């Protein structure tokens, strides 16, 4: 299926081999992750092909734990002799680290069952079967629709279709072995409209899925990009004030990501989260329930086992406003006297660390139009910029653009504003949750409204 990049050896066999070599070199405990992939990217701009990229890649990450001393090495040179030397070097490197009683592989009773991957819908053979010409036509249709959607669209930054067909394999020295294939496809477009004084208004939209059948209609992606550009024509900077702020679903998703980054065992033991000491306490409005679910079929955060081989499971972060708890991998769980929540995420070059999988803010019963009608005055946010969030304090301050709301309607576009508050207050201040749940990558949220935030403008 995807083993062609590895010249006849499966990803799992390579991971197993690395574990054996490390054991032979004296490793006490070790695990190896192998990620293979074939990637392609096609960009079409103004009807012409701008980029065609195609390649296969493979990488191996080895973690060695020598009586609590950890080393992590990564390589793409997998020739037998090179791999042997690599394993020896990793074992030797562990000597630099200090012994850490909490370092170690998971208890085998926690292992996931790797045979269970198929129902999770991570792999679509139709993506692997797409030809270059088919990919070009998808991108071309998307860009053409963006250009044709409105005469005020004068330019585009192109439409890009990317696919990836890959496999993840993990093996450890305590007997865990697992692998699963995964595919992804994404289509993105940026349309540009010209505003007064030479200002350009870009509009961006995308669809990213694990299967071709779920990919958004290419023309629809292009038309939405065009609409988002045209909608911003004539945008102005409003006066500084305090008003209700409505987040469209894509923007509400960004709040989930901030919260999830604070809800990890990693942030907790570092003392770097405002959520410390708040487990079991009211955090958000009772309208808010947030779930992290790696078992939802066909999503970007879906996985049958985590980055350490632990079985994945659904974790509730916030239940009707109450903060239920943190996400843990084995290290942070041991360190804090907790249990792993199956949330280890691992790159080739880095230690496992707890992170969210698929984050969902459960939808409410309100239609988004009704939510808007019920907002006499406020800001409707369609774009956020900058990294103004402090996980240690929850302080939040980001650049924003969108629309000014007057009399329950979108009155005019606004830009160059800043919205600020504290995430704890913002979550507590959510006074409306709509029913329009939408997915963006590994997170989903509906339209929400926060009772009041500071909006900085003129």
Partner 1 sequence: MPDPAAAALQFFRDRFAIDPAVTSTLLSVALSRGGDFAELYFEHRTNSAITWEDQHVRSATRTVSQGLGVRVVRGEAIGYAYTESFDMEAMRRAAETAARISAGERTPPPIDATPFLVGTSHYDFDHPLVAEPAAAKVALLERADRAARSYDPSIARLDASIGDELKYILIARSDGKLIGDVQPLIRFNVSALSQRGESRQVARQGGGGRMGIEYFEQVTTPEQLAREAARQAVLQQDAAEAPAGTLPVVLAAGDSGVLLHEAVGHGLEADFNRKGTSNYTGRIGQPVASPLVTVVDDGTIAASRGSINVDDEGNPSGRNVLIENGILRGYLQDEISSRHFGVAPSGSGRRQSFKDYVMPRMTNTFMLPGEDTPEDIIRSVDRGIYAVSYSGGQVNISNGDFVFSVTEAYLIENGRITTPLKNVMLIGNGPDVLSKVTRVANDYRLSDGRWTCGKDGQSVPVGVGMPTVLVSGITVGGTKL
Among 216, 282, 321, 399, which residue sits at the site for partner 1 (rule: CB under 8 A)?
A: 399
Region of 19-27, 92-100, 167-175, 305-313 interacting with partner 1 (CB under 8 A)? 92-100
Contact in structure between 249 and 436 (CB atoms under 8 Å): yes
Query: How far apart, in whole angstroms, are the C-alpha atoms of residue 41 and residue 161?
Result: 6
- Write out the binding residues for partner 1, residues 367-386 only, by CB under 8 A: 385-386
Interaction of residue 54 with partner 1, rule CB under 8 A: yes
Region of 94-102, 117-125, 205-213, 366-374 interacting with partner 1 (CB under 8 A)? 94-102
Query: How far apart, in whole angstroms, are the C-alpha atoms of residue 332 and residue 352?
Result: 10
**Composition of the chain by helix, strand, coil, percent to 5:** 25, 40, 35
- Tell me the number of residues near partner 1 by CB under 8 A: 79
CB proximity list for 332: less than 8 A, separation 6 or greater: 264, 265, 266, 268, 269, 338, 353, 354
Among 67, 270, 373, 377, which residue sits at the site for partner 1 (rule: CB under 8 A)?
A: 270
Which residues in 189-215 are b (16+ Cβ under 10 Å) and which e? bbbbbebeeeeebbbbbbbbbbbbeeb
Residue 397 burial (CB < 10 Å; 0-12/13-18/19+)? middle
- Write out the binding residues for partner 1, residues 272-331 only, by CB under 8 A: 272, 274, 276-277
For residues 90 and 302, which CB has a smaller minimum distance to partner 1 in the complex? 90
Among 18, 21, 22, 94, which residue sits at the site for partner 1 (rule: CB under 8 A)?
A: 94
Interaction of residue 227 with partner 1, rule CB under 8 A: no
State the minimum distance, in angstroms, from the CB of residue 48 to partner 1: 7
For residues 89 and 217, which CB has a smaller minimum distance to partner 1 in the complex? 89
CA distances from 45 to 76, 229, 230, 314 (A): 34, 17, 19, 42
Residue 246 tokens, joined:
């409505």
- Write out the binding residues for partner 1, residues 339-358 only, by CB under 8 A: 348-351
For residues 355 and 415, which CB has a smaller minimum distance to partner 1 in the complex? 415
Interaction of residue 452 with partner 1, rule CB under 8 A: no
Query: How far apart, in whole angstroms, are the C-alpha atoms of residue 284 and residue 259?
Result: 11
Contact in structure between 61 and 73 (CB atoms under 8 Å): yes
Interaction of residue 419 with partner 1, rule CB under 8 A: yes
Interaction of residue 4 with partner 1, rule CB under 8 A: no
Task: Fill in the per-residue mask, 431 to 450: x = in contact with partner 1 (CB under 8 A), - = not in contact.
Answer: --------------------
For residues 43 and 302, which CB has a smaller minimum distance to partner 1 in the complex? 43
State the number of CA atoms in the 13 A half-sphere of 134 facing the CB: 10
Interaction of residue 72 with partner 1, rule CB under 8 A: yes
Residues in the chain: 458
State the minimum distance, in angstroms, from the CB of residue 200 to partner 1: 4
For residues 58 and 159, which CB has a smaller minimum distance to partner 1 in the complex? 58
For residues 423 and 433, which CB has a smaller minimum distance to partner 1 in the complex? 423
State the minimum distance, in angstroms, from the CB of residue 122 to partner 1: 22
Neighbours of 39 (CB within 10 A): 15
Angle at 214 between CA 209 and CA 215, to 5 degrees: 65
């Amino acid at each position: 299926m995807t083993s062609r990049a590895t010249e006849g050896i499966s990803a799992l066999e390579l991971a197993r081999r690395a574990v054996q070599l490390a054991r032979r070199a004296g490793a006490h405990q070790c695990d190896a992750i192998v990620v293979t992939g074939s990637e392609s990217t096609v960009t079409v701009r103004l009807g012409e092909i701008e980029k065609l990229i195609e390649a296969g890649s493979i990488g191996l990450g080895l973690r060695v734990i020598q009586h609590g001393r950890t080393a992590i090495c990564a390589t793409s040179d997998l020739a037998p002799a090179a791999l042997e030397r690599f394993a020896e070097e990793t074992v030797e490197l562990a000597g630099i680290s200090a012994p850490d009683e909490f370092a170690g592989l998971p208890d085998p009773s926690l292992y996931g069952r790797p045979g269970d991957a198929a129902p999770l819908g991570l792999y679509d053979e139709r993506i692997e079967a797409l030809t270059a010409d088919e990919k070009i036509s998808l991108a071309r249709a998307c860009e053409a629709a963006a250009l044709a959607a409105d005469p005020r669209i004068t330019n585009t930054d192109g439409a890009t279709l990317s696919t990836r067909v890959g496999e993840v394999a993990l093996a450890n020295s305590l007997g865990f072995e697992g692998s699963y294939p995964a595919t992804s496809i994404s289509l993105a477009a940026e349309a540009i409209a010209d505003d007064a004084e030479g200002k350009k208004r870009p509009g961006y939209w995308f669809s990213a899925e694990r299967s071709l059948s779920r990919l958004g209609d290419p023309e629809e992606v292009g038309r939405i990009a065009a609409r988002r550009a045209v909608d911003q024509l004539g945008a102005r900077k409003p006066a500084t004030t305090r008003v209700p702020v409505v987040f469209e679903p894509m923007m509400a998703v960004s709040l989930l990501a901030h919260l999830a980054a604070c809800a990890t065992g990693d942030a907790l033991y570092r003392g770097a989260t405002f959520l410390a000491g708040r487990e079991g306490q009211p955090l958000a409005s009772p309208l808010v329930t947030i779930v992290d679910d790696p078992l939802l079929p066909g999503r970007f955060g879906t996985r049958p086992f985590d980055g350490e081989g632990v079985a994945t499971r659904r974790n509730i972060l916030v239940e009707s406003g109450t903060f239920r708890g943190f996400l843990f991998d084995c290290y942070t769980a041991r360190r804090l006297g907790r249990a792993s929540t199956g949330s280890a995420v691992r790159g080739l070059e880095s230690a496992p660390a707890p992170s969210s999988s698929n984050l969902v803010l459960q939808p409410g019963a309100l239609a988004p139009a009704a939510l808007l009608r019920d907002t006499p005055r406020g800001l409707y946010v369609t774009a956020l910029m900058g990294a103004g969030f402090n996980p240690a304090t929850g302080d939040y301050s980001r650049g924003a653009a969108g629309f000014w709301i007057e009399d329950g309607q979108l009155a005019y576009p606004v830009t160059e504003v800043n919205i600020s508050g504290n995430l704890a207050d913002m979550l507590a201040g959510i006074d409306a949750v709509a029913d329009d749940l939408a997915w963006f990558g590994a997170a989903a949220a509906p339209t929400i409204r926060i009772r009041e935030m500071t909006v900085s403008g003129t």
